[in-house]
Amino acid sequence: MRLRFVASLAPPAVGFGAENVGDEMSFLSLDKIWSDDRFDPSETIEFSGDLGSYNAVNEGDIVVPKVSPTFAHGRTAIAKGLTGQRALATSEVFVLRAHDRASARFIKYRLLSPDFLATGQSAWTGVAGLKRVSAEFVRNTRIDAAAWRRRGDIADFLDRECSRIDLAAELAKRAIEQITHAHRPLRAHLLVEANEWTRVKAVAATVAGAGFPPEYQGLTDGDFPFVKASDLQTSQDGRVVERAANWVDDETRRLLGARVVPSRATVFPRIGAAMLKNTRRISGRPLLIDNNLCAVSPHNERDADYLFEALSWLDLGPLSAPGPVPSVSDAVIRSARIPWPASADLRAAAVASSESQRKILRRSVQFFSRQHNLLSEYRASLVHEAVSGRLDAFAVSEEQMNERLHAAAEGRLDEVTV
């Protein structure tokens, strides 16, 4: 059976006539459309009487993203909680309406099934980075006839089981966040045992960044990587700037008036929201930085690791200048106070302790990240099994589904049979 026999694509919408001009209704941009509780109909718009490039949506309709990568991420959703029971949606979605409104949940799950998403990606057309699935592809999506006959019960089953999987995945995600936020590597050593402080300028020098002209964007050959704030965010290692998207030679460096950041300096943002995220990296090699970054280089290279740890404790928020965009000057950074034990042995011990903690925390994050990924994979496979008729939702007990959930989280789902 094909989807076109049980649902209408681009159905006639109610409440979008001349008499509705000025009515307030939801506005659904692509970033508001999710298959879970992130679906957000709170943004509103006044109806002008002209649909223009919008799609008209009524409460209970199914919205299916047509453009990559949103389609590939499975963001199909049932429109719910719409202001005035109506919405204007981006033209980058298909609007479907089940002939039997009670069937919308089953259809949504069918359109979230991995085989639908994979087939859609293999069939989509367009230029790289902006491809679309066709309306014909959606209309001709196959629906298992036996599963369709029990569509209400299957939708209930998937609602229940997906909620349990989502809860387990959310707990894993929260564990990652808690571990990350709990990492305060030097608190005991620096604030309790040492209780000694100094100003940054007494133990290190700052290196200001330089402007980065657009004409040098994308150069991959040169003597120095020209690092921007985005490079810190995407660094593969938590402590080393491994790669940068832009490189320049020494002649260009001199032309730009950019100072070289030494190989053991700590680099961090000093402007914008990234400044408040405590993103710190050791440079790892001589490099250049743009003027949104600051580098702090120790007077004694043996203190590079300790300086990195101490600066990781530096909260720039209270030091930032008032204004719409938070920022902090190099002069303020130089005057900032950081924990600094006079004993080199104590500084070395603090670094060793922090490294040990970091390894433990990294392993914990890896464990919960893997668990989160496994649960996401299990959710997708369960949806596929149910809507394709491969799993009889009424032949499995709650105990068996509990066992499957635990096995999926531990990566041993193939050991469990139902």
Asked which of 299, 314, 340 is the last residue of a domain, the reply is 340
Asked which of 319, 340, 361 is the last residue of a domain, the reply is 340
User: How many domains is the chain built from?
Assistant: 3
Please, what is the end-to-end C-alpha distance for the chain in angstroms?
27
Whether residue 251 sits in one domain with residue 119: no
Q: Which amino acid is at 127?
A: V
- Domain extent at residue 402: 147-195+342-418
Question: How many whole angstroms separate alpha carbon 53 and alpha carbon 247?
Answer: 42
Question: How many whole angstroms separate alpha carbon 224 and alpha carbon 340?
Answer: 31
Asked which of 340, 358, 383 is the last residue of a domain, the reply is 340
Q: Are 116 and 99 in contact (CB under 8 A)?
A: no
* CATH number (domain holding residue 305): 3.90.220.20
Give pLDDT tens digits for 84-101.
999 999 999 999 999 998
**Which pLDDT belongs to residue 356?**
82
**Which pLDDT belongs to residue 128?**
64
Whether residue 179 sits in one domain with residue 69: no
Whether residue 328 sits in one domain with residue 243: yes
**Which pLDDT belongs to residue 188?**
47
Question: How many whole angstroms separate alpha carbon 300 and alpha carbon 281?
Answer: 18
Whether residue 250 sits in one domain with residue 186: no
Q: How far is CA 36 from CA 89, 90, 252, in A?
A: 17, 19, 50
Q: Exposure string (b/e) for 345-371, b if CB count within 10 Å is 16 or more?
A: ebbebbbeebeeeeeebeebbeebeeb
Q: Is 220 exposed, middle or buried (0-12, 13-18, 19+ CB in 10 A)?
A: exposed
Q: Are 207 and 299 in contact (CB under 8 A)?
A: no
Q: How far is CA 256 from CA 223, 249, 265, 267, 339, in A?
A: 14, 11, 21, 19, 35
Whether residue 328 sits in one domain with residue 385: no
Whether residue 347 sits in one domain with residue 276: no
Task: Please give the mean pLDDT across all residues of the chain.
Answer: 88
Whether residue 322 sits in one domain with residue 189: no
Q: How far is CA 303 from CA 126, 189, 263, in A?
A: 54, 16, 13
Whether residue 113 sits in one domain with residue 97: yes
Whether residue 270 sits in one domain with residue 394: no
**Which pLDDT belongs to residue 316?**
84
- Structure letter (DSSP) for residue 91: T
Whether residue 118 sits in one domain with residue 20: yes
Question: How many whole angstroms separate alpha carbon 39 and alpha carbon 29?
Answer: 11
Strand 266-269 and strand 247-248: pairing? Answer: unpaired
Concatenated DSSP letters of 232-275: HHT-SSSSB----S-EE-HHHHHHHTPPPBPTT-EEEE-BSGGG
Give pLDDT tens digits for 209-243.
888 887 777 777 788 988 888 788 766 555 566 66
Concatenated DSSP letters of 358-414: HHHHHHHHHHHHHHHHHHHHHHHHHHHHHHTTSS-TTSS-HHHHHHHHHHHHTT-GG
**Half-sphere exposure (CA, 13 Å, Cβ side) for 368?**
18
pLDDT of the chain along its 418 residues, tens only?
Answer: 999 999 999 999 999 999 999 999 999 999 999 998 899 999 999 999 988 889 999 999 999 999 988 999 999 999 999 999 999 999 999 999 999 989 999 999 999 999 999 999 988 887 766 789 999 999 999 999 999 999 999 999 999 999 999 999 999 999 988 887 666 545 545 544 556 889 999 999 999 888 888 777 777 778 898 888 878 876 655 556 666 778 888 988 998 889 999 999 999 888 887 776 667 888 888 999 988 899 999 999 999 999 988 888 788 888 888 778 888 988 999 999 988 888 888 888 888 888 887 788 889 989 999 999 999 999 999 999 999 988 888 788 889 999 999 999 999 988 777 6
Length of the chain: 418
Whether residue 234 sits in one domain with residue 306: yes
Q: Are 61 and 11 in contact (CB under 8 A)?
A: yes
pTM above threshold 0.95: no
Per the listing, tokens 């290190």 go with 204
Cis bond leading into 41, ω under 30°? no
Whether residue 41 sits in one domain with residue 132: yes
